[in-house]
Amino acid sequence: MPIERFRGFPAGRLRATAVPDLFFSELLPRIADPAEIRVVLHVFWRVQARGRAVAAVSLGELRQDPPLVAGLGLKGEEPALALGRALDSAVGRGVLLRLKVARPDSDSATAEWFFLNTESGRALFERAANGELDLGGAPLPEVPAAPAERPNIFTLYERNIGLLQPLLVEELEEAEKLYPMEWVEEAFKIAVEQNVRRWRYIRAILERWRDEGKEDEQPGRDHAEDGRHYLTGKYADYIKH
C-alpha cells in the first residue's frame, strides 16, 4: 500500500502542543512500542487542548477518538488491546498517572482518568484523588503507587558483571543512548544465563539485534539457545578475547 503523502503545514499561525524536551531526550529512546508513543503524545495534545479546567483524559474518550484509534490499528492489531497495553506501559513507566473513579449510576462500575506526570498534572491528580475535582464519580481509595525506578545501564553492569571500569563509562553511556533499555536488560539477562559476564558479549548481542533486527524473534525464545549463537557464530572470536 503506497504511503499517503502529507500535504504540509499550511501558512499562517498554527496551534501547537508543547512537549517537554525531556520526553525526547530521556523517554523516547526507551520506548520500544510505537503505540505507547502515539498514546502519550495524544494525551499531551488532548490535555493542552482542554485547558486547565480538567487537564486529564478519560479512557472512554481515548477509545472513541477516531485519529488515535486509526493509528493504533495500523498493524492489524485490535485498537482497544493496543490502547490498553500502551496506557499500562505509560503508567508503569511513570509518564502518566491513572486514577479510577467509581460510577454507580453508569453501566460501567468504574471510569479511568489519566493525568500527565508534570508538576501541574501531579497537583491536579492529588486534588482529584482527594475528591476535590468532579470527574463524574467518587475516586476509589486505592491511589496508584509510584512506579519502581528501572535500573540504568551502569547499575545493570555492576549487578551482573562487577566493578565498573572507568574506560567503559563512555561506551556504556553511548550504548544506553543507542539501544532501548528493554534490549539492554534482556542482553544482560542472556549473558548471566550463559555465564559469559563480559561487556563484549552483551555488546555483540545488541549489535546483532540492531543490524539483523529483533522484531522477528518469537515470544518465549530460549535464551540458552540464543546465547550459544553468540559463542559459536560470527561474534565468537571477538567475544572470547
Share of the chain above pLDDT 70, in %: 76
Phi, psi (5° rounding) for residue 28?
-55, -40
pLDDT of amino acid 136: 67
Mark 158-177 as b/e (b = at least 16 C-beta within 10 Å). eeebeeeeeeeeeebeebbe
- The H or E element spanning position 138 is strand 138-139
What's the CATH architecture for 21-139?
Orthogonal Bundle (1.10)
| The pTM of the whole model exceeds 0.85 | no
Instruction: Report the C-alpha gap between 138 and 129 in whole angstroms.
Output: 9
DSSP assignments along 39-100, one per residue: HHHHHHHHHHHH-STT--EEHHHHHT-HHHHHHHTTTS--HHHHHHHHHHHHHHHTSEEEEE
How does residue 156 score in pLDDT terms, banded at 50, 70 and 90? confident
- Written as one letter, the residue type at 173 is E
Question: What SS3 state is found at 14?
Answer: coil
Q: What is the DSSP string of 168-230?
A: GHHHHHHHHHHS-HHHHHHHHHHHHHTT---HHHHHHHHHHHHHH-STTPPTT--HHHHHHHH
Q: Please write the tens of the pLDDT for every residue from 85-111.
A: 899 999 988 899 998 887 665 555 778
The pLDDT confidence band at residue 115, using thresholds 50, 70 and 90, is very high
Model pLDDT for residues 17-30, shown as the tens digit of each residue? 888 898 888 888 88
Cell 529483533, located at residue: 214
Cell reading at 17: 502542543
Ranges of each domain in the chain = 21-139, 153-240
Strand duo 110-116 + 96-102: pairing? antiparallel
| Half-sphere CA count of 234, side-chain side, radius 13 A | 5
Q: Extract the C-alpha cell encoding 187.
A: 542482553
Q: CA 171 to CA 19: how far, in whole Å?
A: 29
Q: What is the pLDDT of residue 9?
A: 85
By C-alpha distance, which of 65, 137, 146 is closest to 98?
146
